[in-house]
Amino acid sequence: MKKIAIYSMKGGVGKTAAAVNLSYLAAAGGDNTLLCDLDPQGASTYYFRIRASKNFNTNKFIKGGKHIDKNIKGTDYPHLDLLPSKLSYRNLDLALDALKNSRKRLKQIFKDLEYEYDYLFMDCPPGISLISENVFNAADIIIVPLIPTTLSELTYEKLIKFFEKNDIDSGKIYTFFSMVESRKTLHQETMNKVSQEGGNILESRIPYRSDVEKMGIYREPVPVSSPHSDSTQAYVELWNEIKSLC
């Protein structure tokens, strides 16, 4: 099972849209796929029209094992399951901090699912916290959406420095440009600058389009609601590029 985190320090960069569409495309290819919604906002959970069980909470999540199995939900799509978020995940950092080996608990939880799925996607909350450090340790690949603006570039640079300072392998960080408006000079200049500075910059770019925003209305992945759109084609290209890394 390949573990792929969709992560950014910054919110509002297209992280959840990427997690939903990429996990859908992985499953559509016939691979057994689990999307774990770690963000207490629960946007991925909402998009797939799923609610977590009333009794599921942070404490049961960090216990793992049968508590996870019982709360994994099937989606409307073959081969795609979801482990829904709960608002109580806002306390996940505190719960993890009370455990021994608190930075690697997520890795242990997912180990129990190793032979049930081909791909595990994590829709991660923004910021750098204990749950983020768990994600960094658990993931095989960390996909970082980057809007080509100054602030997004700054947070990307801070993430790389955090990995280096804490002796975490920054080689598993891959970035793609998200919500790209090709007519904007700032976007073009930022993409050129970041690409020239090196690092793992994926070639696929996700354009800024209304069909992605409308995921909240249709509550479907873009390849389902707009199968012939250029947004769908962009996510297909992005998934093919990521899959080649696994």
Question: What digits encode the pLDDT tens for the residues 165-188?
Answer: 999 999 999 999 999 998 999 999
- Say what percent of the chain tops pLDDT 90: 85
pLDDT on residue 75: 97
In whole angstroms, what is the distance from residue 174 CA to residue 144 CA? 6
pLDDT on residue 229: 96
CB count in 10 Å sphere of residue 95 = 20
User: Assign residue 93 a region: left if phi > 0, alpha if psi is -120 to 50, beta otherwise?
Assistant: alpha
pLDDT on residue 198: 82
In whole angstroms, what is the distance from residue 97 CA to residue 25 CA? 35
Give bridge partners of residue 141 from the DSSP assignment: 4
pLDDT on residue 100: 81
- Say what percent of the chain tops pLDDT 70: 100
Give the count of alpha carbons within 13 A of 152, CB side only: 25
Residues 6+ apart with CB under 8 A from 6: 15, 16, 18, 19, 22, 121, 122, 123, 124, 143, 145
Q: Three-state secondary structure along 182-209?
A: CCCHHHHHHHHHHHHCCCCEEEEEEECC
Q: List the single range of 27-31, 94-98, 153-157 with lowest mean pLDDT.
A: 94-98
For the record, the structure tokens of 27 come out as 């499953």
Residues 6+ apart with CB under 8 A from 161: none
Question: What digits encode the pLDDT tens for the residues 31-60?
Answer: 999 999 999 999 999 999 999 988 888 999
For the record, the structure tokens of 205 come out as 């770019």
pLDDT on residue 2: 97
In one-letter notation, the amino acid at residue 43 is: A
Average pLDDT over residues 57-72: 91
Spatial CA neighbour of 40 closest among 84, 87, 83, 72: 87
For the record, the structure tokens of 97 come out as 């901090």
Question: What digits encode the pLDDT tens for the residues 88-123?
Answer: 899 898 888 888 888 889 999 999 899 999 999 999
In whole angstroms, what is the distance from residue 108 CA to residue 176 CA? 28
CB 111 within 8 A of CB 4: no
Average pLDDT over residues 19-31: 98
Average pLDDT over residues 216-238: 96
Average pLDDT over residues 238-243: 98
Average pLDDT over residues 188-205: 93
Pairing mode of beta strands 73-74, 173-180: unpaired
Q: What are phi and psi of 25, to 5 degrees?
A: -65, -35
Q: What are phi and psi of 155, to 5 degrees?
A: -70, -35
pLDDT on residue 69: 92
pLDDT on residue 13: 95
pLDDT on residue 88: 87
